[in-house]
């Protein structure tokens, strides 16, 4: 697969709005801004993404929601068991409900509620308590989060909620455990990364060669 095909697969052609937003930040001017805004590499896309906590009232187009869900669909999972279920919260009632259950829903126009299906998750033969569920849903969420960026949207990964309360509020079956929320929407004008976003360890501090 050549570079153009790889980027096309990410849907990166639609990512110019997000890159323009990131490029407007003082910190991104120090090297985080895309060198090729119209055709970023995967690594640049990952660098440009940041947690958004202020959203415009602009509705998110269904085709962009579909693209994010497609990114979830193709995510790798242990033995391809796909132990996840995703609730797309976008109605006024659902958004009002999730904002009451978590202060970190941030009034986003769309909130993906990603659940782990414990009945489908792979279990390690070396440790019966070691399930792939959390790992699998995290991979799915990462795909969704980066596709949202490629679509020119902001996002925020949220774990701040009571799983039992959320499950009850949205009639989630007992075999599913709410894993996290992914807030998605158009960033409010002027939204910028938190300064902590740029506090990253050097590769030499965590990479151990043997």
**Distance, CA of 135 to CA of 121 (rounded, Å):** 10
Number of domains within the chain: 1
> Is residue 203 situated within a structural domain?
no
pLDDT tens digits, 51-81: 999 999 999 999 999 999 999 999 999 999 9
pLDDT tens digits, 138-169: 999 999 999 999 999 999 999 999 999 999 99
Section 38-52 average pLDDT? 88
Q: Is the pLDDT of residue 35 over 70?
A: no
> Is residue 7 situated within a structural domain?
no
- DSSP run (H or E) holding 57: none
**DSSP-based three-state secondary structure for 205:** helix
Q: Tokens 């989630």 — which residue? A: 172
Task: Determine the structural domain holding residue 140 and report its residue range.
Answer: 51-193
> Is residue 91 situated within a structural domain?
yes
For residue 57, what is the domain's CATH number?
A: 3.40.109.10
């Amino acid at each position: 697969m050549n570079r153009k095909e790889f980027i096309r697969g990410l849907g990166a052609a639609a990512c110019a709005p997000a890159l323009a937003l990131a490029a407007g930040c003082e910190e991104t001017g120090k090297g985080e801004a895309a060198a090729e805004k119209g055709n970023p590499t995967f690594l640049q896309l990952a660098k440009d993404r940041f947690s958004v906590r202020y959203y415009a009232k602009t509705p998110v187009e269904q085709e962009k929601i579909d693209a994010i869900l497609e990114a979830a669909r193709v995510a790798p999972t242990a033995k391809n068991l796909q132990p996840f279920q995703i609730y797309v919260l976008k109605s006024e009632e659902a958004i009002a409900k999730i904002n009451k259950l978590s202060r970190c829903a941030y009034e986003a126009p769309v909130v993906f509620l990603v659940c782990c299906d414990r009945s489908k998750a792979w279990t390690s033969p070396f440790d019966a308590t070691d399930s792939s569920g959390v790992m699998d849903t995290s991979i799915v969420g990462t795909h969704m989060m980066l596709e949202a960026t490629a679509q020119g949207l902001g996002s925020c990964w949220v774990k701040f909620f009571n799983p039992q309360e959320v499950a009850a509020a949205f009639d989630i079956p007992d075999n599913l455990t709410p894993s996290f929320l992914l807030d998605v929407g158009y960033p409010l004008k002027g939204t910028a990364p938190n300064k902590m976003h740029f506090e990253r360890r050097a590769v030499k501090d965590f990479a151990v060669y043997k």
